[in-house]
Amino acid sequence: MTASAPLPPQDAARVARRALPLLDLTDLSETSSAAAVEALCETARASGVAAICVWPDFVAGSARTLRGSGVRVATVINFPEGGDDAARAVADTRATLADGADEIDLVLPYRALMRGDAEGARGMVAAVRAACPDRLLKVILETGELEDPDLIARASRLSLEAGADFIKTSTGKTPVSATLPAAEIMLEAIRARDGRPAGLKVSGGLRRVEDASAYLALADRVMGPDWVSPTTFRIGASALHAELVRALEAAR
């Protein structure tokens, strides 16, 4: 997204107060370690974020560390490749649930959708949904790779119809991650949905308070000013956390 002018300190603090409880504080780096995740958990506990998002290997330890804190533990499945192996995705989901995961972030088989296999993509979402009936399921569309607005809209509808609680923009592992135009398409699909409500997670490339402000403003415009909450809107970020804290400190 295009960089916007810095917000005045009081406006930045207002955005930070709103955005901090929406964060999925994330460590999906290749160099992630038990010590790094332990530190992430302590930061999450102190900051009052919605969740942490970590590799499956770190779910059990995170669940122990965060027990009773109110911070949820999310992990990633079929990540980041978005392959076609639904049986593997289901097995990995069940294993992470046994370790204590509260939320599953599943990468849609987006390449299957791009080559016309919508039912294959839908089938994986439905299968993982069946494997985690009582846990939050976020489906990552990888919108920067889908690119075409019609494909993004189709992926959004397909994922919601197959049982996603949230649709998520991106893995953060591709050249193009979250964009405002893609997020707007996804919000329109959520708004048009009949029946069970759903949410949006924006992820990848959000580093400034102004980035958070732009996505919050978009959600307010499309969904209404009272829609955004941790149950409907998440921000997947790591670098953003420090900027939000800095904005709050600067306004004191």
Active site residues: 105, 168, 201
Which residues lie below 8 Å from residue 108, measured CB to CB, with a gap of 6+? 82, 121, 124, 125, 139, 140, 141, 142, 155, 158, 159
Task: Tell me which residue has tokens 């415009």.
Answer: 221
The answer to whether 248 and 42 have CB atoms below 8 angstroms apart is no
Minimal CA–CA distance to 54: which of 150, 64, 46?
Answer: 64
* Partners of 76 in beta bridges: 105
* Partners of 203 in beta bridges: 236
Residue 138 Cα to chain centre, angstroms = 7
